[in-house]
């Protein structure tokens, strides 16, 4: 597998477009199309929030009947089309119909994504305008298409990788994502469209996406809020002719998808609303992996922990307290908490253990503060109860997070 790239040049059989339809007043792209030249098998993961936006409801219906024949994805920013009743459902369906008419396919072959303000009916005429503007310019401008789904994001998020199998066959995996706030686990908690030109049945595609999603998009936290619109889509059009015929080849595809999703997931955390620090949180030594995830998420979503990171305060008490309220077995007397600057898999001699066996260690406060001042920080929490482990990526809370969200609708 080649190195992961932070851009997308082209993916065989796919074309994209981004344009402005007036949802963003500054004229930047607020609408995007992702189109396959032929039918795709598709996999999807949707929000588990009981409040689901109209496009999520419609997409779930389309995936139920047409996941072997998906042709396109249409997306908009600035308006979530959530909590808009039957009118919102109608807008999502009319949008799919407009794309289908332009591509000469069925509306059920079109998936719809929306992101932005909740509770405002999306203007379907703007979506139809986007189709009129977007279809004639379909091409390989993935960067503009990625901009079309951005809301409070400061940067667009793209990733791609090429894989060559032992028999010489080559395929690509590529994707775009948006996300900056309203990010929490228990789904993707953002929007992502990923594509591949490999040949793969829908059942296998869904299995791989479920596995990878859990270790990437489901392992990020910005603020702990789960959106109404969260959707991750994976389309495979088979245009490369590359077929995965062995378990090893399927594993190579999973590795490639993981690399793309990990890059996009980490980009979302780095671009977290008001974020100044990227934090890798490793929880190990729990009774089960699920217990470790509960503890990691409790720490990653704690406002007290996140503000301490912003203030460069090595406040171990907040981390241990969060671990203790996670609702799963946790023993402070058997635990060890270690911190180090950077993004690391294992502690080095520069790491500082600040808590062990139920009490703080005799660590240097100056050394701990110096670590907490770095832009990237790695945390290891050893539980001493078993072999369960989890990794979560999160960020700090700054003054800017409050500023951004205090007037989000204005």
Alpha carbon distance 401, 320 (integer Å)? 24
In 3-state terms, what secondary structure has residue 62? helix
Helices within 185-337 (DSSP H only): 202-215, 247-270, 289-300, 303-310, 316-324
User: For this structure, is 151 an active site residue?
Assistant: no
The answer to whether 222 and 268 are in contact (CB under 8 A) is yes
Residue closest to 44 by CA, chosen among 240, 174, 154, 208: 208
**Crossing angle (nearest 10°) for helices 289-300 and 316-324:** 130
Question: Residue holding tokens 């890798």?
Answer: 280
Alpha carbon distance 21, 134 (integer Å)? 10
Question: Residue holding tokens 């307290």?
Answer: 321
13: CB partners within 8 A, 6+ apart: 36, 37, 38, 197, 237, 238, 239, 240
Alpha carbon distance 250, 256 (integer Å)? 10
300: CB partners within 8 A, 6+ apart: 221, 224, 279, 281, 306, 392, 394
For 378, counting Cβ atoms within 10 Å of its Cβ (0-12 exposed, 13-18 middle, 19+ buried), the class is buried
Alpha carbon distance 365, 363 (integer Å)? 6
Alpha carbon distance 228, 211 (integer Å)? 22
Tell me the backbone φ, ψ of residue 118, rounded to 5 degrees.
-85, 145
Alpha carbon distance 268, 394 (integer Å)? 9
- Catalytic residue chosen out of the listed positions 115, 152, 189, 301: 189
Q: Which residues are catalytic?
A: 189
């Amino acid at each position: 597998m080649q190195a992961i790239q932070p851009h997308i040049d082209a993916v065989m059989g796919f074309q994209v477009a981004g344009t402005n339809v007036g949802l963003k007043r500054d004229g930047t792209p607020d609408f995007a199309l992702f189109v396959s030249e032929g039918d795709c098998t598709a996999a999807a993961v949707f929000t588990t929030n009981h409040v689901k936006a109209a496009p999520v409801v419609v997409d779930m219906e389309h995936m139920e009947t047409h996941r072997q024949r998906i042709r396109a994805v249409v997306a908009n920013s600035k308006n979530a089309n959530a909590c808009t009743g039957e009118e919102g459902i109608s807008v999502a369906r009319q949008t799919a119909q407009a794309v289908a008419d332009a591509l000469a396919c069925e509306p059920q072959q079109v998936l719809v994504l929306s992101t932005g303000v909740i509770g405002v009916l999306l203007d379907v005429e703007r979506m139809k305008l986007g189709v009129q503007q977007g279809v004639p310019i379909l091409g390989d401008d993935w960067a503009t298409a990625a901009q079309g789904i951005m809301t409070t994001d400061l940067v667009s998020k793209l990733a791609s990788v090429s894989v060559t199998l032992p028999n010489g066959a080559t395929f690509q995996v590529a994707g775009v994502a948006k996300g900056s706030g309203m990010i929490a686990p228990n789904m993707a908690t953002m929007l992502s469209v990923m594509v591949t030109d490999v040949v793969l049945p829908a059942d296998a595609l869904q299995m791989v996406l479920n596995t990878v999603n859990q270790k990437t998009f489901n392992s990020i936290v910005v603020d702990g809020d789960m959106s109404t619109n969260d959707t991750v889509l994976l389309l495979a059009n088979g245009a490369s002719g590359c077929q995965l015929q062995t378990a090893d080849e399927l594993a190579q595809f999973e590795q490639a998808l993981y690399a793309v999703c990990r890059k996009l997931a980490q980009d979302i955390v780095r671009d977290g609303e008001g974020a100044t620090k990227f934090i890798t949180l490793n929880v190990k030594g729990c009774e089960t992996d699920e217990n470790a995830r509960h503890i990691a998420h409790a720490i990653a979503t704690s406002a007290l922990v996140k503000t301490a990171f912003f203030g460069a305060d090595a406040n171990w008490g907040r981390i241990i307290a969060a671990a203790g309220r996670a609702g799963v077995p946790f023993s402070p007397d058997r635990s060890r908490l270690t911190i180090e600057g950077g993004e690391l898999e294992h502690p080095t001699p520069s790491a500082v253990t600040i808590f062990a066996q139920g009490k703080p260690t005799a660590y240097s406060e100056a050394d701990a503060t110096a670590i907490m001042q770095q832009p990237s920080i790695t945390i290891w929490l050893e539980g001493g109860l078993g072999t369960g482990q989890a990794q979560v990526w999160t960020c700090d809370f700054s003054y800017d997070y409050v500023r951004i969200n205090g007037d989000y609708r204005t």
